[in-house]
């Protein structure tokens, strides 16, 4: 051990006194007649002056910021020197020669040097402490601001439920002012299972220090109305122990009501949906039965009129023959209608087997099937080598193409060479096929309508058809998860778009 540091071995008490003072974390100095007569090493570091410069400083000059401050300080120091004031504490900023500024806390007391009164000053750098205090104040102000601006009710309480903070929203939510929110259980809680659960959750949070799941609680407002609150409580620690908790209570009455209404609406919708599906199924079954049952008498009628025409034609005069041919034409139309309706009722009712193929194969088969009208109308069909591989029922896709190709031929513009251009592109998991014709076009106001059954808004008297073709097309496309729509310019042509799923492989 270094013998120099053993105090009891010092023969010179003055030297020991110095050694202690120079190792203290505070600056110490003494002033007599406003002149410095003693200082320790830490003081030099604090004020940033050399011993020579320090010797020229007076107490008031050194630590008073302004001449006015200097005058007040002098008065106070005189009082201390006279023994009228035991001590004086000040916090002042000090600008050091290197340009930095620190905040010093000085404590000035009276001492005697010999028989003469003098001033002893101890100085501590409190810059960091001040910073920390300011930060804490700012954070507290921020916290209050959050509390004051929150529509949720925020509160802080300790282990014994003593409330140290309750935000103003408590009044909006409960009708009782924040000041009434004390250490006792609030008067507005509805007693019951919910409250017991809430109390248990709070106790658990305070015991374990772990945040508990939010709980709901019912309250009675000052005006007697009932509200539901959702409460989130988070425990907090101070000095290593669970000190209390921060709670946030939100009024969820309106949200719960809205959720309940939404649920009710959903239930209602689901019921309506079920009814619709049932009604739709019944309608399909009805259409199927009616069209199916109509088929047999129609076949008989067809056969009988055939025989009538063959065997008794010469017995009928011209008018009779005309009537007979009108009857035949109408029977044929009825047959067409019944067949189309039967077809429509089959889509979705009967599961069709899917296969994988390029859609162009089916387009070619469809053109072949619609050959008669395509040739009659001299429709020029342009199509690419491939349209894209799909997974579909061949029969259903053929129905789609036959109807669309037939329409392009049927509703062509007699003043120009009819052309149908088929193209495709892939969008996501679907192939979008466009069938663009240069026919007579469709007025925009009918773009939705033409997909409805028996709707033929743009057709002329001489156009044959039942108005079910596009209904069948739409039903098939949508049943297979696709969409159908059209763009058209009256007098210039129409483009029908359909989407069909891409093949999986």
On whether the CB atoms of residues 442 and 407 are closer than 8 A, the answer is: no
Nearest approach in angstroms of CB 400 to ligand ADP is 11
Beta carbon of residue 330, minimum distance to ligand ADP (angstroms, whole number): 16
Minimum distance from CB of 466 to ligand ADP (Å)?
Answer: 5
Contact 326, 345 (CB under 8 A): no
Q: Which is nearer to ligand ADP, 338 or 442 (CB)?
A: 442
- The SS3 assignment for 90 reads strand
Closer of 198 and 442 to ligand ADP (Cβ): 442
Q: How far is the CB of 435 from ligand ADP (least distance, A)?
A: 8
Q: What angle do CA 175, 178, 183 make, to 5 degrees?
A: 115
In the three-class reduction of DSSP (H, G, I as helix; E, B as strand; rest coil), residue 166 is classed as: strand
Q: Closest approach of Cβ 361 to ligand ADP, in Å?
A: 23
Spell out the residues 6+ positions from residue 468 whose beta carbon is closer than 8 angstroms to its own: 337, 340, 341, 343, 344, 453, 454
Rounded least distance, CB 409 to ligand ADP, Å: 9
Name the residues that contact ligand ADP, by CB under 6 A.
Answer: 403, 407-408, 411, 437, 439-440, 442, 450, 455-456, 458-459, 465-471, 494
Cβ distance to ligand ADP smaller for residue 259 or 448:
448
Nearest to residue 173, comparing CAs of 164, 181, 162? 181
Q: Which residue is nearest to ligand ADP (CB)?
A: 465
- CA neighbor of 498 nearest in space, from 400, 428, 403: 400
Please identify, using beta-carbon distances, which residue of 235 and 439 lies nearer to ligand ADP: 439
Q: Which is nearer to ligand ADP, 236 or 485 (CB)?
A: 485
| Minimum distance, C-beta of residue 452 to ligand ADP, in the bound complex (Å) | 9
Residue 49 or 400 with smaller CB distance to ligand ADP = 400
In a 13 Å sphere around the CA of 489, the CA atoms on its Cβ side amount to 5
Q: Which is nearer to ligand ADP, 36 or 363 (CB)?
A: 363
- Rounded CA gap, 316 and 325, in Å? 12
Spell out a b/e string for 366-395, using b for 16 or more CB atoms within 10 Å of the CB, else e. Answer: bbeebeebbeebebebebeeebbbbebbee
């Amino acid at each position: 051990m270094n013998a120099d540091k053993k105090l009891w071995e010092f023969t010179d008490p003055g030297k020991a006194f110095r050694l202690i003072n120079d190792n203290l974390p505070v600056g110490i100095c003494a002033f007599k007649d406003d002149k410095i007569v003693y200082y320790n090493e830490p003081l030099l570091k604090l004020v940033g002056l050399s011993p020579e410069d320090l010797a020229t400083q007076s107490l008031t000059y050194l630590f008073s910021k302004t001449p006015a401050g200097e005058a007040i300080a002098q008065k106070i120091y005189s009082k201390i020197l006279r023994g009228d004031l035991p001590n004086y504490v000040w916090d002042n900023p000090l600008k050091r020669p290197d340009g930095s500024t620190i905040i010093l806390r000085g404590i000035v007391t009276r001492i005697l040097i010999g028989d003469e009164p003098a001033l002893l000053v101890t100085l501590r750098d409190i810059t960091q402490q001040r910073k920390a205090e300011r930060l804490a104040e700012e954070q507290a102000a921020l916290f209050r601001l959050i509390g004051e601006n929150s529509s949720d009710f925020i509160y802080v309480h300790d282990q014994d439920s003593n409330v140290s903070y309750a935000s103003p929203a408590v009044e909006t939510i409960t009708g009782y002012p924040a000041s009434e929110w004390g250490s006792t259980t609030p008067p507005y809680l509805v007693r019951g299972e919910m409250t017991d659960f809430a109390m248990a959750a709070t106790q658990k949070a305070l015991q374990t220090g772990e945040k508990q799941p939010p709980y709901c609680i019912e309250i009675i407002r000052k005006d007697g109305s009932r509200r539901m609150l959702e409460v989130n409580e988070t425990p907090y620690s101070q000095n290593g122990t669970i000190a209390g908790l921060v709670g946030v209570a939100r009024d969820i009455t309106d949200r719960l009501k809205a959720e309940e209404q939404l649920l009710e609406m959903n239930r209602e919708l689901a019921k309506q949906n079920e009814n619709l599906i049932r009604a739709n199924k019944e309608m399909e079954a009805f259409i199927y039965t009616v069209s199916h049952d109509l088929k047999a008498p129609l076949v008989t009628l067809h056969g009988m009129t055939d025989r009538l025409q063959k065997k008794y034609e010469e017995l009928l005069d011209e008018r009779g023959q005309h009537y007979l041919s009108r009857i035949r034409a109408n029977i044929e139309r009825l047959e067409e209608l019944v067949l189309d309706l039967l077809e429509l009722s089959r889509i979705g009712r009967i599961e069709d087997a899917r296969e994988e193929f390029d859609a162009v194969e089916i387009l070619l088969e469809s053109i072949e099937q619609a050959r008669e009208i395509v040739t009659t109308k001299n429709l020029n069909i342009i199509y690419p080598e491939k349209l894209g591989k799909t997974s579909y029922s061949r029969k259903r896709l053929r129905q789609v193409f036959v109807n669309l190709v037939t329409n392009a031929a049927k509703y062509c513009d007699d003043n120009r060479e009819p052309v149908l251009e088929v193209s495709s592109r892939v969008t996501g998991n679907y192939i979008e096929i466009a069938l663009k014709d240069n026919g007579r076009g469709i007025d925009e106001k009918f773009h939705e309508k033409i997909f409805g059954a028996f709707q033929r808004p743009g057709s002329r008297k001489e156009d044959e058809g039942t108005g079910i073709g596009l209904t069948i097309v739409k039903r098939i496309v949508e049943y297979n998860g696709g969409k159908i729509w059209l763009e058209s310019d009256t007098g210039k042509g129409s483009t029908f778009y359909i989407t069909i799923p891409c093949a999986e492989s």
